[in-house]
């Protein structure tokens, strides 16, 4: 696995503009975090999915063995017929609750049950800083940062500065950019994606550009500290238009496509 990861990371990027480079060029190494909030409810079934689901249910009902409740209903009917015929049954040994009583009790309990809302109100659904929106979608954290005196939407990132590993740099990036209240589970020690770009010529002093290594993580709990990061979004796959086109292509290459 690690040999494959090294092979992937050592090959040149074919997504962005190609530029000649020499072995003497120095690059800044950046760790970035692809942090996702997973769906909390299932998605609505499409018509073909619903019909297929109903067909499976019919097939299972027609071919499955009888459940304990169905056996209980049959036993109750049998005892009722015996009592009608004057059979001498030990009433103390009979169940205190019949299957019909049990079914009525379940129906009453079900009436009191309230399903969780699939959609929140329009204000919450349109608030991209809220984790309560788009419950049936994966949400990706993007933040606005200052790059070359410009405000640009990016994934949380940090320049590698002799940390023990690139993953630890990514963990530090999340803490420093988003605060300590945001807890995440990192998915492995190897990066999932790569992006390379050159700095403007006016900035090329010791380094000519940056090589960004993306690490995947999943949100456990908490949210971004707005004092540290006043501008952030939890974006669906269709809401990543704020990312630069080449950068977005590199990011979406390792994300699960939920829309197709």
| Sign of the C-alpha dihedral computed for residues 70, 75, 77 and 78 taken in this order | positive
Provide the H-helix boundaries in the chain.
2-10, 47-63, 68-84, 99-112, 122-125, 166-178, 245-252
Domain ranges within the chain, ordered by starting residue: 2-41+125-252, 47-112
Angle, in degrees to the nearest 10, between helices 68-84 and 99-112: 130
Please tell me the number of Cα atoms within 13 Å of 233 on its side-chain side: 20
Of 44, 46, 36, which is closest to residue 236 (Cα–Cα)?
Answer: 36
Separation CA 119–CA 139 (nearest Å): 15
CATH code: domain 2-41+125-252 is 3.90.79.10
- What is the residue-level pLDDT of the chain in tens, covering all 260 positions? 444 444 434 444 433 343 444 557 899 999 999 999 999 988 888 899 999 999 999 999 888 888 888 888 888 888 878 777 777 766 666 677 888 888 899 999 999 998 877 778 888 888 999 999 999 999 999 999 987 778 899 999 999 998 999 999 999 999 999 999 999 999 999 999 999 998 888 878 888 999 999 999 999 999 999 999 999 999 999 999 999 999 999 999 999 887 76
Q: Give the C-alpha distances (Å, rounded to integers) separating 185 from 34, 42, 219, 223.
A: 11, 22, 6, 14
Separation CA 226–CA 235 (nearest Å): 16
Burial 215-234 (b: 16+ CB within 10 A, else e): bbbebeeebbbeebbeebbb
Per-residue pLDDT, 200: 85
| Sign of the C-alpha dihedral computed for residues 8, 14, 15 and 16 taken in this order | positive
Separation CA 211–CA 194 (nearest Å): 7
């Amino acid at each position: 696995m690690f040999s494959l990861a090294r092979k992937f990371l050592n090959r040149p990027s074919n997504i962005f503009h190609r530029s000649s480079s020499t072995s003497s060029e120095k690059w800044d190494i950046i760790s970035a975090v692809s942090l996702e909030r997973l769906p909390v409810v299932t998605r609505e079934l499409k018509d073909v999915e619903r019909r297929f689901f109903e067909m499976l249910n019919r097939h299972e009902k027609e071919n499955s063995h009888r459940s304990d409740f169905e056996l209980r209903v049959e036993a109750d009917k049998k005892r009722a017929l015996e009592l009608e015929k004057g059979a001498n049954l030990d009433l103390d040994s009979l169940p205190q609750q019949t299957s019909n009583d049990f079914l009525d009790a379940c129906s009453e309990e079900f009436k009191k049950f309230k399903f969780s809302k699939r959609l929140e109100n329009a204000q919450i659904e349109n608030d991209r800083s809220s984790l309560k929106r788009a419950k049936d979608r994966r949400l990706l954290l993007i933040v606005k940062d200052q790059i070359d005196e410009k405000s640009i939407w990016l994934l949380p990132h940090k320049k590698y500065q002799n940390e023990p590993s690139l993953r630890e740099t990514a963990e530090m990036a999340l803490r420093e950019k988003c605060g300590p209240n945001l807890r995440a589970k990192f998915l492995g020690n190897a990066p999932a994606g790569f992006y390379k770009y050159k700095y403007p010529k006016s900035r090329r002093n010791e380094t000519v550009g940056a090589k960004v290594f993306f690490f995947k993580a999943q949100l456990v709990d908490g949210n971004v500290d707005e004092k540290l990061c006043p501008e952030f979004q939890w974006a669906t796959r269709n809401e990543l238009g704020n990312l630069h086109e080449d950068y977005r292509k590199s990011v979406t290459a390792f994300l699960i496509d939920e829309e197709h």
